[in-house]
């Protein structure tokens, strides 16, 4: 029913494929307009619309490595680097 279409991005001017699967998804969701931007420009536009998050310096309570976190660390509350946080999360799921 649907066939891949080649469209031109209105931001960068590059051609991109509007796949048959994407067209079907758009139809299921009731979207009437085809995309006007390529995937890269859509992602860039979404990022530009979001305010930049402030990151705070911290020291991992598990391994002592420096870490950047999106919240203000508080005294008495442990802060973990990404790797140790993932390990903590795995241990909770396994229990």
pLDDT tens per residue, range 6-64? 999 999 999 999 999 999 999 999 999 999 999 999 999 998 998 888 999 999 999 99
d(CA 36, CA 56): 37
- Phi and psi at 15, nearest 5°, equal -80, 145
Q: What is the pTM of this model?
A: 0.54
Helices then strands, each counted (H, E), the chain:
3, 4
Tell me what pLDDT residue 53 has. Answer: 84
Separation CA 24–CA 3 (nearest Å): 10
Would the pLDDT of 89 be above 90?
no
> Would you state the pLDDT for residue 67?
93
């Amino acid at each position: 029913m649907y066939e891949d279409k080649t469209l031109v991005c209105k931001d960068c001017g590059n051609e991109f494929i509007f796949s048959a699967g994407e067209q079907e998804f758009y139809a299921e969701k009731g979207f009437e307009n085809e995309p006007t931007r390529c995937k890269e420009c859509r992602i860039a536009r979404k990022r530009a619309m979001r305010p930049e998050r402030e990151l705070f310096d911290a020291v991992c309570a598990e391994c002592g490595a420096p870490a950047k976190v999106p919240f203000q660390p508080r005294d008495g509350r442990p802060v973990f680097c990404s790797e140790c946080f993932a390990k903590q999360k795995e241990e909770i799921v396994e229990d």
